[in-house]
Amino acid sequence: MSTFPLRPRDVFEELRRTVVGQDEAIRELSVALVKHLVGHPAPNILLIGNSGSGKTTLMRAVEHFLASRPELRTYYANVVRINANVLAEEHQGYGKAVLGRLYTNARKAMGEGASQEDLLRSVEHGIVFIDEVDKIRAQVSGQPNVRGIVAQEALLTLMENENVEFEIDGERHAVNSSNVLFVAGGAFEELYDAVLRRATIGQDVAPMKPVVVVSASGEVREELPFHLRDYLRYDDLFRYGMTPQFTSRFESIVVLNDLAEGDLARIFVEPEGSIFRASRDYFKRFGIDLQITRGALMAIAWEASQQKRLGARALRETYRRIISAMEFEPANGGVLTIDEQMVKKAKR
Ligand SMILES: Nc1ncnc2c1ncn2[C@@H]1O[C@H](COP(=O)(O)OP(=O)(O)OP(=O)(O)O)[C@@H](O)[C@H]1O
Ligand SMILES: [Mg+2]
């Protein structure tokens, strides 16, 4: 048996370059990924995290990672990412939507000369990301949601099924999908509220008391020490509208962290293609060297952190208010430093 060239930690370190503050989720995914790549059984993973916490970013980071490593081509690295909503719209059948795409991927990666057997083996060991899985809940506001029910059932037949049929280019194929790795993600917004309510009124648990928090920028506020992962149970997911059969196919449920100010500051500057890096590139076109002070960075992160429901998406909006005038009329050359004053002045 040949040795695998990567350890889960290597994958973890690589993914962390783009995904900030979600070490637990990345760790879980890295181990599952390495197991899957070498053909070991790997747990299906359900990622639950507030909007803008990095679920889609993490899935894309994995896709990018697999695509950027040609040495992984001989392993099971065939991956597709599908939006659950799109899946629910798929009238030609889910098999075609998911397995057909894995098949097309495999053909692209292996070339036209690949044997049917190899292509189908690659499909049978595919990696399927299902994003926005919370959109296919079985009921919405107490009413049954037929699209959701149908989509969940269809996914169920895709998971661990020994004989799933799909059609591509007019040819029918049947595969055993029990070795496909599923990673689903969603914000489950009302789930958060429902569990929070349960925790606040102390239903089945001791009621929470607010605690005083001092932020990195020195502001003081009261907060509830609520972390979904401390309170979440399978029952909560059932009540939300994920059927027990579907939910129980995910052996691993990971709740992503809410991003703290420090994480937001790092997201703003560090990852390749970060907001600040992109902005620096823009100003460089006019010969301007864009800089930012530590104070300004923390102030931006603080402001963004106030818009809890947006997660890291709030950074973009906060920054736009500060920079838009200068983007419209950039000076001619020189250094442009964003300082704390500029952030304060741009407040709504
Ligand atoms: N943990 C993170 N690390 C790095 N960047 C992040 C992170 N979370 C969010 N971002 C940034 O914020 C933007 C939105 O994040 P993303 O799309 O991953 O959110 P999401 O969790 O999928 O939210 P939604 O539930 O609304 O789909 C991304 O473009 C990314 O740049
Ligand atoms: Mg997303």
**Does the C-beta of 83 come closer than 6 Å to ligand 1?**
no
Measured between alpha carbons, how far is 335 from 288 in angstroms, rounded to an integer?
A: 6
Share of the chain above pLDDT 70, in %: 95
Say if CB 98 and CB 158 are below 8 A apart. Answer: yes
For residues 133 and 180, membership in a common domain is answered with yes
Q: Do residue 15 and residue 125 come from a single domain?
A: yes
**Atom 8, ligand 1: residue with shortest CA distance:** 54
| 3-class SS of residue 30 | helix
- The lowest-confidence range among 77-81, 209-213, 305-309, 330-334 is 209-213
pLDDT at 91: 60
Q: State whether the beta carbon of 121 lies less than 6 angstroms from ligand 1.
A: no
Whether residue 196 is contained in a domain is answered as no
Domain co-membership, 90 together with 230: yes
In a domain, 247, yes or no: yes
21 shares its domain with 163: yes
Q: Do the domain assignments include residue 215? A: no
User: What is the average pLDDT across 67-77?
Assistant: 89
Residue 252's pLDDT is 95
Which of 215, 239, 255 is at the close of a domain?
A: 255
Residue 290's contacts (CB-CB under 8 Å, 6 or more residues apart) are 276, 279, 280, 283, 284, 336, 337, 338
283-294 confidence digits (pLDDT tens): 999 999 999 999
Could you tell me the distance, in angstroms and rounded to a whole number, from the CA of residue 133 to the centre of ligand 2?
10
Say if residue 162 is in the same domain as residue 82: yes
Atom number, ligand 1, closest to the C-alpha of residue 52? 19
Give the range with max mean pLDDT: 82-91, 217-226, 231-240, 261-270: 261-270
pLDDT given for residue 8 in this prediction: 97
Q: Is residue 206 in a domain? A: no
Residues 67 and 82 in one domain: yes
Mutate which of 58, 81, 267, 269 to test ligand 1's pocket (most atoms within 8 Å of Cβ)?
A: 267
Each residue's pLDDT tens digit, 16-27:
999 999 999 999
Residue with the smallest CA separation from ligand 1 atom 11 is 312
Q: Are 246 and 314 contained in the same domain? A: no
State in Å, rounded, how far the first CA of the chain is from the last one. Answer: 62
Residue 161 CA to ligand 1 centre (angstroms): 32
The reply to whether 106 and 186 lie within a common domain is yes
Shared domain check, 274 and 165:
no
57 within ligand 1 shell (Cβ under 6 A):
yes
pLDDT by residue (tens digit) across 233-258? 999 999 999 999 999 999 999 999 99
What CATH number does the domain containing 16 carry? 3.40.50.300
Amino acid 203: pLDDT: 66
Helix (H, G, I), strand (E, B) or coil at 171: strand
| Res. 144: pLDDT tops 70 | yes
- How far, in Å, from the CA of 111 to the mean position of ligand 2? 32
List the CATH number of the domain containing 267: 1.10.8.60
**Do 137 and 111 fall within a single domain?**
yes
Please tell me the least confidently modeled range out of 27-31, 94-98, 132-136, 166-170: 94-98
Most informative mutation of 57, 62, 319 for ligand 1 (most atoms within 8 A of CB) = 57
Question: In sequence order, what E strands does 57-196 have?
Answer: 79-83, 127-131, 139-140, 143-144, 164-168, 171-175, 181-186
pLDDT one-digit tens code per residue, 150-190: 889 888 888 878 888 888 888 899 999 999 999 999 999 88
Q: Which is the closest atom of ligand 1 to the Cα of 186?
A: 25
- Number of independent structural domains in the chain: 2
The verdict on the CB of residue 267 being under 6 Å from ligand 1 is yes
- Ligand 1 contacts CB of residue 314 (under 6 A): no
> Which range, 204-213, 287-296, 330-339, is most confident?
287-296
Q: Does 60 fall in a domain?
A: yes
Lowest mean pLDDT, pick from 25-34, 140-149, 182-191, 271-280: 140-149
pLDDT of 210 above 90: no
Give the distance (Å) from ligand 2 centre to CA of residue 330.
33
In terms of domains, do 233 and 332 share one?
A: no
Mean pLDDT of the chain: 91
Whether residue 244 is contained in a domain is answered as: yes
Residue span of the structural domain in which 187 resides = 8-191+225-255
- Provide the token pair at 312: 């890291």
Residue 313 lies in a domain: yes
Quick one: average pLDDT of 315-339? 93
Picking from 212, 234, 255, the residue at the C-terminal end of a domain is: 255
Residues 236, 283, single domain; the answer is no
| Residue 204 counted as domain residue | no
